[in-house]
């Protein structure tokens, strides 16, 4: 289906007048060209408008189709490659540089604004910059882009795509650091763990159901560090006063608050060994508005929320989604209710009608409708 045919079919199923169709076609062509056609997981031969036509046809009543279209027209938030690129490029000047300067200012007992003009502080800043390590928490960390845009400031040996690396990789990282610093005992002092998006914070850090232990990406990183330290046998990976920074390019306000609170609780409840980072700092490139979730304000999106309940297949629930604390995923993982799409993938924290794909069928004696995605999600867990 080409775009013009898709628009004609769309006009028919929406029963638009000629005037309304001209107005909507102009907006759809513009948004498709500027943003939505760039979504990475459309099927071959399908782009936004063709997908929109298919998506709208799952709704049986004209009023339902109008509600769904109005949601796309006025509520959907799409973070495209250009917006994400900007957040990645701003990571160093807005977050990393500021943290390094403040650490050096404290160490050299000078005001932060004098760090780059004081000779001793300049040398300390350069040394700390080399003893900084960047690690990706997922493939959305854009480690390659960070390395590229900051190639004059950091070496390739300071960037690692993942946090769970083998002992040989750690040995190689330390060897390069020692050679560059002309110090056989050189260790990393500042570590950044980087991810693209968080809506609940549960993937990063959470207590188990019994609240007897902690789980998540941070705990897996801790275990990887402990394992490597044990195998290496001599010395440590980090300096005694090392610091850990966790950066997400995009976060909901709920996740930002939750991560800060869980870090405090985990440290207070001995989730980390004595030689762990003396400080852990969460940071965020952009925090989404508090009122972005479609259920944040009563009655604002009741009609669309009704569609998330009516056109829903329980099959999309799994043991992995149960971690979020809700069993009905109409509003997405954790009941987040986000009208959000990221260009490289749609988060499952978004409302399920945007990303869920099922064939429908009998679910314990109840017929579930097939779910057609507007932005097909690439699932991490199958």
User: Cβ(204)–Cβ(137) under 8 Å?
Assistant: yes
State the CB neighbour count (10 A cutoff) for residue 59.
21
Q: How far is it, in rounded angstroms, from Cα 215 to Cα 5? A: 50
Pair 97, 154: CB distance under 8 Å? no
74 and 92 share a domain?
no
Strand, helix or coil at 247?
strand
Number of domains in the chain: 2
Q: List the domain range (segments joined by +) for residue 255.
A: 82-287
pLDDT the model gives residue 235 = 67
Quick one: which H or E segment has residue 229? helix 217-232
Pair 175, 190 in one domain: yes
Which residues are within 8 A (CB) of 198 and not within 5 positions of it... i.e. 6 or more apart?
Answer: 204, 248, 250, 251, 252, 255, 259
Residues 97 and 186 in one domain: yes
pLDDT averaged per 10 residues in sequence order, the chain, 382 residues: 78 93 94 92 82 95 97 96 95 96 96 93 96 95 95 95 92 95 94 97 91 92 92 83 97 96 93 91 97 96 97 94 93 96 94 96 92 88 48
Contact yes or no for 248/285 (Cβ under 8 A): yes
Query: Could you tell me if residue 377 is inside a domain?
Result: no
DSSP-assigned beta bridge partners for residue 192: 134, 245
| pTM assigned to the model | 0.92
Residue tagged 């945007």 (tokens): 354
| 380 falls within a domain | no
CA-CA-CA-CA torsion sign (46, 52, 57, 58): positive
If you write DSSP's letter for every residue of 146-204 in order, what string do you get? HHHHTTTTS-GGGEES-S---HHHHHHHHHHHHHHHT-TT--EEEEEEEEEEESSSTTT
CA 326 remoteness from chain centre:
20
DSSP-derived pairing of the beta strands 159-160 and 132-136? parallel
- The whole-number pLDDT of residue 233 equals 72
217 inside domain:
yes
Pair (109, 69) in one structural domain:
no
Q: Which residues, 6+ apart, have CB-to-CB distance to 188 below 8 Å? A: 131, 132, 133, 173, 177, 237, 238, 239, 242
Residue 382 lies in a domain: no
My answer on whether 158 and 282 are in the same domain is yes
| Rounded CA separation 335/321 (Å) | 10
Shared-domain flag, residues 317 and 272:
no
Q: Distance (Å, rounded) from C-alpha 99 to C-alpha 128?
A: 11
Q: Which two tokens stand for residue 15?
A: 């029963």
Quickly count: other Cβ atoms within 10 Å of residue 56's Cβ.
20
pLDDT, residue 382, reads: 47
For residues 39 and 158, membership in a common domain is answered with: no
Residues 124 and 166 in one domain: yes
Give the pairing of strands 366-368 and 361-363. Answer: antiparallel
Would you state the structure tokens that stand for residue 322, as one six-digit string? 């149960």
List Cα–Cα distances, 182 to 185, 236, 367, in angstroms: 9, 17, 69
Q: Are 282 and 134 found together in one domain?
A: yes
Do 33 and 147 lie in one domain? The reply is: no
């Amino acid at each position: 289906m080409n775009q013009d045919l898709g628009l004609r079919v769309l006009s028919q199923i929406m029963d638009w007048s000629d005037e309304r169709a001209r107005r909507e076609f102009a907006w759809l062509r513009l948004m498709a060209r500027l943003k939505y056609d760039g979504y990475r997981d459309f099927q071959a031969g399908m782009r936004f408008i063709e997908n929109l036509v298919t998506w709208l046809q799952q709704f049986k009543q004209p009023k339902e189709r109008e509600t769904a279209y109005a949601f796309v027209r006025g509520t959907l938030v799409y973070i495209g490659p250009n917006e994400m690129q900007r957040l990645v490029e701003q990571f160093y000047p807005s977050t990393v540089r500021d943290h390094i300067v403040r650490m050096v200012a404290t160490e050299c007992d000078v005001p932060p604004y004098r760090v780059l003009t004081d000779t001793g502080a300049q040398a300390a800043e350069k040394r700390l910059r080399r003893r900084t390590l960047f690690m990706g928490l997922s493939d959305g960390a854009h480690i390659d882009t960070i390395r590229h845009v900051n190639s004059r400031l950091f070496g390739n040996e300071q960037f690692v795509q993942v946090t769970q690396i083998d002992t040989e990789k750690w040995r190689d990282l330390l060897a390069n650091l020692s050679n560059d610093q002309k110090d056989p005992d050189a260790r990393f002092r500042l570590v950044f763990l980087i991810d693209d998006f968080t809506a609940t914070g549960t993937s990063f850090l959470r207590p188990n159901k019994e609240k007897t232990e902690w789980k998540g990406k941070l705990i897996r990183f801790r275990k990887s560090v402990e394992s490597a330290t044990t195998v290496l046998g001599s010395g440590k990976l980090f300096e005694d006063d090392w610091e850990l920074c966790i950066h997400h390019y995009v976060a909901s306000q709920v996740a930002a608050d939750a991560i800060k609170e869980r870090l405090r609780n985990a440290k207070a409840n001995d989730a980390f060994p004595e030689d762990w980072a003396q400080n852990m700092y969460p940071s965020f490139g952009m925090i989404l508005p508090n009122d972005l979730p479609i259920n944040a304000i009563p009655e604002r999106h009741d009609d669309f929320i009704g569609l998330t309940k009516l056109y829903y297949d329980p099959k999309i629930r799994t043991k992995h989604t149960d971690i979020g604390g809700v069993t009905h995923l109409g509003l997405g993982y954790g009941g987040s209710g986000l009208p959000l799409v990221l260009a490289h993938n749609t988060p499952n924290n978004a409302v399920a009608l945007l990303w869920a794909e099922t064939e429908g069928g009998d679910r314990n004696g109840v017929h579930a409708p097939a779910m057609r995605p507007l932005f097909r999600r690439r699932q991490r867990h199958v």
